[in-house]
């Protein structure tokens, strides 16, 4: 297949919100600095649903969505030296070229090399797409487009991993799990003994909890409006204000959440509830939903003088955050994180190794396995409280 166009199945988003359609797509061979990957497993992340909804200013249609996956290199373009056919890889929507101003700054994991192309659904070389259907171009997404059996990515956007790692599991290390862990370890740098609040207990929020537990946090307060996120299957319908550790469902407890709050069960604003519970506020908070009013609450539940709030959730086009500047004047800090601050090509392989050594969880986030043909059902499942990650066998 090297050097030839491959025809394979891909889920195409023709229009916002319209069911994805499994199509035969043509995937062109990789050009200079590009890698064609046979995607074996892909998970669905809330960000895919966000772009599909039409609320992402960078969303272009028709496109092939998907960015949390694992696969095997099928072929490489000219000048590609760091991977070769047969290598096991995780596509990385956050590139790492090691040469640009960003990569060399030592201050960020963002990379500037291909971002101008990945934001508009094309490849850097010729500003064109490698996907087409009978000659009609289909846009790439986030430089990854993993809802296709084959995809083409930039060489700076692919991490080579240990071939011993089960791809059906480590595909999650392409986005959600590293994002949560890294938000705690790299962005907030949570210290032992800290009090942490996590807003939104999806995969990203639970990975924040897992990261905070590993960092030695003394209390990890989980906040979600969906009680299923912690009671999973048990009939604890009328939960009291704060449920203690013993009552938490196995799942959430395993990730390290020590207390659960459902804002729907409180009359006071949630930030007030948390401030009252924590003698003035938390040391660190994380917004893992993408809701700007929750982002405000997450900042305002932080302790005066030092509390730091990290925005992880992605909010829709046109949404803006606000708070009284006094909140910052009095020492609270507002931050954000992309891919948890991890340098993708350098650090994803080490996360895979940590998983193999059982130092981080991955299996526990996978609640459903399906095939590509069922992708629309998989998206429906994402809105169900019992669902964390759905992994699709391509
Ligand atoms: P998810 O949908 O699985 O989880 C969101 C959780 O928030 C759900 O449990 C939901 O019940 C809860 N929730 C919704 N509204 C709430 C409210 N008002 N108060 C409390 N809880 C509420 O999503 P996910 O895949 O875990 O992703 C979470 C967010 O992180 C999304 O916005 C996603 O786009 C974003 N994200 C960002 C990055 C990054 O690099 N910054 C990476 C991955 C995902
Ligand atoms: N196009 C979106 C941006 C969405 C966004 O912020 N994406 C995160 C990753 S979410 C993964 O699930 C990110 O890494 N951002 C940094 C970057 O370079 O895109 C919008 O809203 O405009
Ligand atoms: Zn994601």
CB 39 within 8 A of CB 27: no
Q: Containing H/E element for 391?
A: strand 389-393
Residue 256: the pLDDT is: 87
What's the angle, vertex CA 67, arms to CA 65 and CA 71, rounded to 5?
A: 110
Q: Alpha carbon of 276 to those of 90, 176, 282: distances in Å?
A: 43, 31, 10
Our answer on whether the CB atom of 204 is closer than 6 Å to any ligand 1 atom is yes
Residue 254: the pLDDT is: 75
Residues in CB range of 375: below 8 A, 6 or more apart: 11, 20, 22, 44, 147, 392
Residues in CB range of 268: below 8 A, 6 or more apart: none
The atom of ligand 1 lying closest to the CA of 270 is 19
Identify the residue whose C-alpha is closest to ligand 1 atom 3: 202
- How far is residue 205's CA from residue 224's CA, in Å, rounded to a whole number? 10
Residues in CB range of 181: below 8 A, 6 or more apart: 207, 208, 210, 211, 214, 340, 351, 360
State whether residue 50 is helix, strand or coil: helix
What is the ipTM for the molecules in this complex?
0.99
Our answer on whether the CB atom of 309 is closer than 6 Å to any ligand 1 atom is no
DSSP output for 313-361: SPPPTT------THHHHTT-EEEE-SGGG--HHHHHHHHHHHHHTTSS-
Identify the residue whose C-alpha is closest to ligand 2 atom 6: 314
The atom of ligand 2 lying closest to the CA of 317 is 21
Give the burial string for 37-60 (b: 16+ CB within 10 Å, else e). bbbbbbbbbbbbebbbeebbeebb
Residue 229: the pLDDT is: 75
Our answer on whether the CB atom of 57 is closer than 6 Å to any ligand 2 atom is yes
Ligand with the closest atom to the CA of 141: 2
CB 222 within 8 A of CB 207: no
Q: What's phi and psi for 232, nearest 5 deg? A: 25, 85
What's the angle, vertex CA 29, arms to CA 152 and CA 37, rounded to 5?
A: 35
* Residue among 52, 112, 314 to mutate when testing ligand 2 (max atoms within 8 A of CB): 314
Our answer on whether the CB atom of 390 is closer than 6 Å to any ligand 1 atom is no
Residue 231: the pLDDT is: 55
Indicate the angle between helix axes 270-277 and 292-300, nearest 10 degrees.
20
Our answer on whether the CB atom of 315 is closer than 6 Å to any ligand 2 atom is no
Ligand with the closest atom to the CA of 263: 1
Query: What's 303's DSSP letter?
Result: P
Tell me the β-bridge partners of 35: 76, 153
Catalytic residues: 45-47, 67-68, 97, 100, 103, 111, 115, 175, 389
Measuring CA to CA, which residue among 132, 164, 211, 93 is closest to residue 357?
164
Our answer on whether the CB atom of 45 is closer than 6 Å to any ligand 2 atom is yes
Identify the residue whose C-alpha is closest to ligand 1 atom 25: 46
The atom of ligand 2 lying closest to the CA of 204 is 12
pTM above 0.90, yes or no: yes
Whether the bond between 62 and the residue before it is cis, its omega within 30 degrees of 0, is yes
pLDDT tens, position by position, for the chain (394 residues)?
Answer: 899 999 999 999 999 999 999 999 999 999 999 999 999 999 999 999 999 999 999 999 999 999 999 999 999 999 999 999 999 999 999 999 999 999 999 999 999 999 999 999 999 999 999 999 999 999 999 999 999 999 999 999 999 999 999 999 999 999 999 999 999 999 999 999 999 999 999 999 999 999 999 999 999 999 999 877 765 422 233 333 333 333 344 455 678 888 889 999 999 999 999 999 999 999 999 999 999 999 999 999 999 999 999 999 999 999 999 999 999 999 999 999 999 999 999 999 999 999 999 999 999 899 899 999 999 999 999 887 778 899 999 9
């Amino acid at each position: 297949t090297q050097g030839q166009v491959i025809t394979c199945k891909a889920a195409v988003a023709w229009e916002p919100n319209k069911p994805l359609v499994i199509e035969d797509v043509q995937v062109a061979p990789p050009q200079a600095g590009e890698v064609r990957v046979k995607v074996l497993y892909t998970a669905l992340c809330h960000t895919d649903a966000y772009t599909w909804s039409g609320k992402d200013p960078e969303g272009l249609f028709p496109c092939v969505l998907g960015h949390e996956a694992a696969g095997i290199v099928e072929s490489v373009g000219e000048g590609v030296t760091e991977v070769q056919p047969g290598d096991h890889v995780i596509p990385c929507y956050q590139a790492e070229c090691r040469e640009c101003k960003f990569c060399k700054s030592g201050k960020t994991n963002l990379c500037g090399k291909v971002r101008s192309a990945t934001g508009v659904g094309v490849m850097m070389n010729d500003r064109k797409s490698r996907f087409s259907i009978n000659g009609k171009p289909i846009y790439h997404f986030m430089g990854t487009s993993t809802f296709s059996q084959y995809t083409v990515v930039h060489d700076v956007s692919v991490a080579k991993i240990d071939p011993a790692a089960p791809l059906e599991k480590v595909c999650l290390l392409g986005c959600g799990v590293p994002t949560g862990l890294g938000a705690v370890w790299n962005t907030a740098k949570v210290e032992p003994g800290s009090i942490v609040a996590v807003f939104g207990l999806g995969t990203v929020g639970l990975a924040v909890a897992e990261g905070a537990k590993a960092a030695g946090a003394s209390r990890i307060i989980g906040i979600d409006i969906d009680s299923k996120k912690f009671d999973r299957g048990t009939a604890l319908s009328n939960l009291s204000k704060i449920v203690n550790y013993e009552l938490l469902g196995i799942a959430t407890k395993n990730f390290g959440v020590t207390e659960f709050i459902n804002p729907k069960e409180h009359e006071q604003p949630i930030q007030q509830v948390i401030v009252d519970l924590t003698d003035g506020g938390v040391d660190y908070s994380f917004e893992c939903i993408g809701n700007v009013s929750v982002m405000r609450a997450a900042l305002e539940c932080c302790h005066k003088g030092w509390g730091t709030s990290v925005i992880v959730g992605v909010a829709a086009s046109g949404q803006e955050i606000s708070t009284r500047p006094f909140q910052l004047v009095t020492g609270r800090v507002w931050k954000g994180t992309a891919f948890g601050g991890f340098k993708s090509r350098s650090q994803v392989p080490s996360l895979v190794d940590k998983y193999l050594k059982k130092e981080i969880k991955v299996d526990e986030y996978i609640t459903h396995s399906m095939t590509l043909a069922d992708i629309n059902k998989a998206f429906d499942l994402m809105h169900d409280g019992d669902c964390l990650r759905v992994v699709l066998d391509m």
